[in-house]
Amino acid sequence: MSAVVEVRDLRKYYGEIKAVDGISFTVGRGEIFGMLGPNGAGKTTTVEIIEGLRRADSGQVTVLGLDVRRQPDAVKARIGVQLQTTALFPRLTVREVLNLFRSFFPQSREADELIAMVNLQEKANTLTKELSGGQRQRLSVALALVNQPEIIFLDEPTTGLDPQARRSLWEVIEQVRSAGATVFLTTHYMEEAERLCDRVAVIDHGRIIALDSPEALIRAHFQERAVEFEINGQQAASFSLEDLPAVTQVRQDGKTITLYTNDVEATLAALFERGQRTGFQVDALHVRRATLEDVFLKLTGRRIRD
Ligand code: ATP
């Protein structure tokens, strides 16, 4: 796997705040690489340093073999950066905005090809101010693809979208990769990272606390299944479930209790038996495999949305 982005011991402090605190990683050609972390973890700072938009305090960043600090223009010509959708021209149509952006580059994709890549065929002649949130996001991805970039950077591309619009953008991102580009994205959605990314760097307080494929991260931290439920009839805090058979960990988040277990049947039987004996009912029960959310919780003791 040849590296298209190499980051070594990158640091950026804002006074007391260590926005990026010594991170290193590489991104391989053709990967969908994700940085996953809560608000303020340092994702945007990292991405903008790689794009050449901010200066690091120290460390090295190479993009496509070029030093971002010394050759920022050469880097910019070969990458695509998704703009915030507020920067779109409200009174231009989708096709007009694309053609405007195309005029900035000596070589560019055809407007129709871009429109097809992000599934906006039906909106080609619609003013951008009349697009839905999801359509605007797809247009901003198309704008990042105008110059046929080798790497495209998407900073929280689906924030604020409803689930359907989010899934539709995931399909677009997968198509972008199929068309040969490397995708670097940031997100604070676990499901997004799990579904889309070949590898994920989990970032917290400016540091990478884990980096691998979502599958490998989950496997490394959890062989167990998660049994999730709410209880009625007794204060959740007032009793312990740690001693139930096969349970390795218990987490409580508000009314929701999660048991991690190596033997779902044995744990459930004992849970119901204890409920009968001590007077609580189990509600909204479901069993699931562990997710990146569980991994983050285990690594940091917090949920990512805190
Ligand atoms: P979000 O999802 O909220 O954008 P993030 O993971 O992208 O979060 P950053 O925007 O990189 O995080 O911010 C990391 C930390 O650095 C935060 O504590 C933030 O307040 C701080 N920070 C970022 N930019 C600046 C700046 N220009 N001046 C001062 N502090 C900054």
Q: How confident is the model at residue 255 (pLDDT cuts 50, 70, 90)?
A: confident
Share of the chain above pLDDT 90, in %: 66
Q: Is the CB of 201 under 6 A from ligand 1?
A: no
Alpha helices in the chain (DSSP H): 43-50, 72-78, 94-102, 111-117, 133-144, 163-178, 190-196, 214-221, 264-278, 292-300
User: Measured in whole angstroms, how far is the alpha carbon of residue 103 from the centre of its chain?
Assistant: 31
150 neighbors 118 (Cβ within 8 angstroms)? no
Residue type at 90? Answer: P
Exposed / middle / buried, residue 24 (Cβ in 10 Å: 0-12, 13-18, 19+): middle
| Ligand 1 atom at minimum distance from 46 CA | 11
Q: Is the CB of 19 under 6 A from ligand 1?
A: yes
Q: Is the CB of 84 under 6 A from ligand 1?
A: no
253 neighbors 303 (Cβ within 8 angstroms)? yes
Q: Is the CB of 37 under 6 A from ligand 1?
A: yes
Distance in Å, CA 299 to ligand 1 centroid: 21
Per DSSP, the residues of 68-94 read TTT-HHHHHHHEEEPPPGGGS-TTSBH
Per DSSP, the residues of 100-151 read HHHTTSSS---HHHHHHHTT-GGGTTSBGGGS-HHHHHHHHHHHHTTT--SE
In the structure encoding, which two tokens stand for residue 266, read together? 């044995």
Q: What is the mean pLDDT of the chain?
A: 90
CA-CA distance, 124 to 196, in Å (whole number)? 27
- Which domains are assigned to the chain? 3-218 (3.40.50.300), 223-289 (3.30.70.980)
Distance in Å, CA 19 to ligand 1 centroid: 6
**Which residues in 48-59 are b (16+ Cβ under 10 Å) and which e?**
bbbbbeeebeeb
Q: Identify the residue whose C-alpha is closest to ligand 1 atom 17.
A: 40
**Which residues fall within 8 angstroms of residue 10, CB to CB, at 6 or more apart?**
20, 22, 23, 24, 46, 49, 56, 58, 59, 60, 61
3-state secondary structure (DSSP) of residue 294: helix
What pTM value is reported for the model? 0.84
| Ligand 1 atom at minimum distance from 155 CA | 7
| Ligand 1 atom at minimum distance from 54 CA | 27
pLDDT single digits (tens) 92-132: 999 999 999 999 998 899 999 999 989 999 999 999 999 99
User: Among 188, 209, 181, 205, which Cα is nearest to 5's?
Assistant: 181
**Which residues in 182-211 are b (16+ Cβ under 10 Å) and which e?**
bbbbbbbbbbbbbebbbbbbbbbbbebebb
pLDDT on residue 61: 97
> In this model, does residue 6 exceed pLDDT 90?
yes
Q: Is the CB of 41 under 6 A from ligand 1?
A: yes
pLDDT single digits (tens) 9-29: 999 999 999 999 999 999 999
Residue type at 122? Answer: E
Distance in Å, CA 46 to ligand 1 centroid: 10
pLDDT single digits (tens) 149-193: 999 999 999 888 888 888 989 999 999 999 899 999 999 898 999
User: Measured in whole angstroms, how far is the alpha carbon of residue 249 from the centre of its chain?
Assistant: 26
pLDDT on residue 24: 97
